Amino acid sequence: RAAPPLPQLQPPAPGEAGEESSLEEQRAAAPDAASPISSFFNGSGTKRLPQAIIIGVKKGGTRALLEFLRVHPDVRAVGAEPHFFDRNYERGLAWYRDLMPRTLEGQITMEKTPSYFVTKEAPARISSMSKGTKLIVVVRDPVTRAISDYTQTLSKKPDIPTFESLTFKNRTTGLIDTSWSAIQIGIYAKHLENWLLYFPIGQILFVSGERLISDPAGELGRVQDFLGLKRIITDKHFYFNKTKGFPCLKKAEGSSKPHCLGKTKGRTHPDIDQEVVQRLRDFYRPFNMKFYQMTGQDFGWD
């Protein structure tokens, strides 16, 4: 009963939304350059395979979560998305390990690639690397997520068909096109079934994308507990940016300046026909209910 194979999503070009820098740029910016801190890491750090991975979901808030987590002194993470378990698996674990930042004893190595959650082969591949890997999934209302996904594509390809026309296989009968990745990603219960074949539910933390905006410190508290970290990231690290409509860090990792996510985040969504939105809500409801049961969490999307 594994989830059906998903269409290959095109990787965003370096610097575009979803993948903020290429792996080469990431390596150039890695803490191996000559600075007092990096020489300290260089001298005594070791590259390790990640003990925790943010596996999804696209347009759920994964970039925000990673940036917030990087404030923690015991978290070291790759900035770019390695896409190892979906697109680069044949390069091998040594290649993957080499992308990781150096860590000291007691620090956690992390990466995030949101497309893992919907990649059929990813659970088995991660499990074969380490059955003990901690997995984090950031989820948000699947209807809003689909619109956000469409908005991102529209910003790159302004001539794509309307959201409404892509949503339906047949507008007259109201049959939803589940092969469209923007719709398919939001069927969380189906994808989760695939992960539960390889990982116990207690090894997966589900973060609410909505609460990440309304109460970032609260959600980060849960994440730090899950990772076995001391609760260092608290309310004092955040301020709410009214223009963008989401929380920002007062100080980013390795900087004394406030840090907000780039211009590719917080885009204005196009107006979508309310009847279509309602149809989608009805479509997702049973899947949402199943997901709430599976995770033991009510995300309040209905």
- Write out the binding residues for 3'-phosphoadenylyl sulfate: 59-63, 140, 148, 265-269
Count the residues in the chain: 302
Both ends of the chain: CA-CA distance in Å? 26
Of 58, 59, 112, 134, the catalytic one is 59
Fill in the DSSP letter of residue 254.
T
DSSP-assigned letters across all residues of 186-236? T-HHHHHHHHHTTS-GGGEEEEEHHHHHH-HHHHHHHHHHHTT------GG
- Is 59 assigned a catalytic role? yes
Residues contributing to the annotated binding site: 59-63, 140, 148, 265-269
The strand ranges marked E within 40-166 are: 46-47, 52-56, 75-77, 102-103, 108-112, 134-139
Q: How far apart are CA 75 and CA 67, in angstroms?
A: 11
Q: How far apart are CA 149 and CA 59, in angstroms?
A: 6
Q: How far apart are CA 39 and CA 36, in angstroms?
A: 5
Q: What residues act catalytically?
A: 59
